[in-house]
Chains A and B, each alone.
Chain A
Amino acid sequence: MKKSSFGDRNLLIFFYLIIGIFALLCVFPLWVAIVSSFSNENSLIKNGYGLLIRNFDLTAYKLIFTGTNSVMNAYVITIFTTILGVVLTVFLTSSFAYPLTVSSLKYRNGISLFAYATMIFSGGLVPSYILMTRFLHLHNNILVLIIPGALNAYNIFLMKNFFKTIPESLSEAAKIDGASEIYIYFKIILPLSKPILATIALFSAMGYWNEWYKVLLYIDNSKLYTLQFLIMQLQQQVDFLTSSLNPNAVSSLGSTVTIPTIGIRLATTMISIGPIILLYPFLQKYFIKGLTIGGVKE
């Protein structure tokens, strides 16, 4: 029987408040942005960003979808690089990690070290930059958004730990029955590894979806911009999108309506995070599982 003292109850209330306030603060800016993206540009300039929709206005969204190709183009690029990137990541990571868990593999410790060493020491920006642009000729090449970054030691670490939880007796039994290592890997290990594969896929999908740094470094062809980089351009160059609007769109706005630069920025941001926000509640448990597999030491 728990005796709840006055101090205990106060502490509990304090905890509820902290969590509640923090959680609200987390979504509050998103709310402001969504609301403002549906507001009329003039009222945005006059009254600032608000908590409620003032003068409901779809102009910004209309312009994004019909007035210019940039946003849809960036969406296509982002989806393309994300899908290919995730497939590559999952394939490379799992095929690298599995052999490291087979105890009869003689050089697995050396190979492990080879991978982990990349976590503690790196060449830095300049050699990578020279490598990508001069050596590999990846400047303005969409592959630079897919291949580099597909494999990293941390993901390998997570997968290895998961594979280790699969009893080796399973593969032993299969070997006795004459199965080859490849068969074991594809038909036994992988199907059992769906949780970790899903987790790695989700984490890397998030990374690819949000990619803008590589675009900043290696790409100046505006047709290869990703969504996040597009948003950055919208912020740093005021006239970036408006100069790409086709004339029909501008004239259809009429002469009294200002081109909604703020609205366009907000609307683009909203549709870029749309998929993530919508999918996230369903995928939350995978993320949490992934974090706790790697993060909690037993």
Chain B
Amino acid sequence: MKDLGKNVDPSIYKAKKNTFLREIVKNKWLYLLVLPGIIYFIVFNYLPMIGLYIAFTDYNPLAGLYGLGSKFVGLRNFNFFFTSNEWIHVTVNTLYLNTLFITTCLFMQILLAIALNEISGKAFKRVSQTFMFIPNFLSWTVVSVLAIALFSTDEGLINHFLNTFGIASINFYQNAAVWPPLLVILRMWKGVGFGTVIYLATITGINQEMYEAAMIDGAGRLQTIWYITIPMLKKTTIMLLILSVGGIFNGDFGMIYALVGDNPLLRSSTDVIDTFVYRALRLNNDIGMSSAVGLFQSVIGFIMVVSSNAIAKRMSDDSSIF
């Protein structure tokens, strides 16, 4: 060890260790309270991070401890994924669908929040808010059953409705092209109630004096909305956007798998990275490739969250999360 000279008293090292122990002992009950959580995070969140190493190996479950002795093959797994056509396809699907979801839901949530704020009937407001919030509690499997009730080719309500007007039935579950708009509608149906509540809470927090001043100056309803309400929503919007954009490379597996399952006919427009990885892992047992893709998603997701947070920070100082 390098001789640091006479200025350093070796008892400092002992003192440092003592402070750590002393702190733990002083607040032992508090540290005991966090201990289960720390163990939980290590087991369920941090250990899998170590497992990302598998992406760089030719995974053999029998090699070494839990397959960690598998042969290191560098970027070969990534090669398989990125040289296939499918990676572009599922990535594009993921980004496209997520962008549609983020933008349409954002628009709808703000619109509904503004509308809820402007209308006055209390009972009407409460009942409609209750209704709007209910789809949020249904799981996508339930939504899938409801979707079949509406969109099924033979018994679906929509097709029966169309038929009474002489319009031919639409074969929803065999036609890939209808699914992007369909998914957007379903996502809005289920998810909008949630965000509307947040925006509404923000709006009700806006200082009423501004509205009164504006109305004295003769501003109409539309103008007060455009010049006061909407700008005041900027902070909340940005914060929620950061959260959403951070996950833009993560497909909503729950939604898509529950709604279309393993239907190969609909894959061209609904297959996202997550459903692709799931199939590779469970059906083809291609551990190497699916872990490579998983790593890709995690890294990109990390970059997205950190950079969108940085951008938001630069735009307005307290809009960021970290």
Task: Tell me if A's interface is mostly helix, strand, loop or mixed.
Answer: helix
Determine whether A30 belongs to the interface, using a CB cutoff of 8 Å to chain B.
yes
Mark each residue of chain A from 100 to 130: 1 if its CB lies under 8 Å from any CB of chain B, else 0.
1010111100010011101011111111111
Main secondary structure of the interface of B (DSSP, over half): helix
Expressed in whole angstroms, the minimum distance between the Cβ of A94 and any Cβ of chain B is 9
Which segment, of A43-51, A59-67, A161-169, A245-253, faces chain B?
Answer: A43-51
Q: Verify B235–A19 contact, CB threshold 8 A.
A: no
Q: Which of B41, B50, B194 contacts A115 (CB 8 A)?
A: B41
Q: A19-B112, A123-B45, A280-B137 are in contact. Are A262 and B155 (CB under 8 A)?
A: yes
A244 close to chain B: CB less than 8 A:
no
Instruction: Kindly report which residue of chain B lies nearest to residue A47, judged by CB atoms.
Output: B160
Contacts of A145 in B (CB 8 A): none
By the criterion CB–CB under 8 Å, are B30 and A102 in contact? yes
CB of B149 within 8 Å of the partner chain = yes
Residues of B within 8 A of A92 (CB): 36-37, 40
Q: Which of A116, A124, A130, A228: most chain B Cβ within 10 A?
A: A124
Whole-angstrom distance between the Cβ of B139 and the nearest chain A Cβ = 4
Identify which of A27, A32, A147, A231 contacts B149 (C-beta below 8 A).
Answer: A32
| Contact in complex: B154, A7 (CB < 8 Å) | no
The answer, yes or no, to whether B264 is at the interface (CB within 8 Å) is: no
What per-residue 1/0 map shows which CB atoms of B120-156 lie under 8 Å from chain A? 0100110111111111011101101111111010111
Q: Is the CB of A95 within 8 A of B221?
A: no
A266 to B38 alpha-carbon distance, docked (Å): 42
Chain-B contact segment, one of A79-87, A193-201, A268-276: A268-276
B181 CB within 8 Å of chain A = no
A5-B220, A23-B128, A276-B137 given; A269·B48 CB < 8 A: no
Q: Is A210 an interface residue (CB 8 A)?
A: yes
What is the CA–CA distance of A122 and B250 in the complex, to the nearest angstrom? 12
Instruction: Report the stretch among B6-14, B85-93, B94-102, B295-303 that lies at the interface.
Output: B295-303
Given A235-B145, A297-B318, CB of A96 within 8 Å of CB of B197: no
* Number of interface residues, chain A, beta carbon within 8 A: 103
CB contact under 8 A between A120 and B305, given known A26-B134, A134-B66, A296-B205: yes
Sampled A-B contacts (30; CB under 8 Å): A12-B221, A15-B119, A16-B119, A19-B125, A23-B128, A23-B132, A26-B131, A29-B149, A36-B149, A48-B152, A99-B33, A102-B27, A105-B30, A115-B41, A120-B305, A120-B306, A123-B49, A124-B295, A124-B297, A125-B278, A130-B54, A130-B67, A131-B44, A181-B29, A269-B145, A269-B146, A273-B137, A284-B130, A292-B197, A297-B236
Interface residues of B (CB under 8 A from A): 23, 27, 29-31, 33-34, 36-38, 40-41, 43-52, 54-55, 61, 66-67, 111-112, 114-116, 118-119, 121, 124-125, 127-135, 137-139, 141-142, 144-150, 152, 154-157, 159-160, 189, 192-194, 197-198, 201-202, 205, 215, 220-222, 235-236, 239-240, 246, 253-254, 257-258, 261-262, 274, 277-278, 281-282, 287, 290-291, 294-295, 297-298, 301-302, 305-306, 318-319, 322
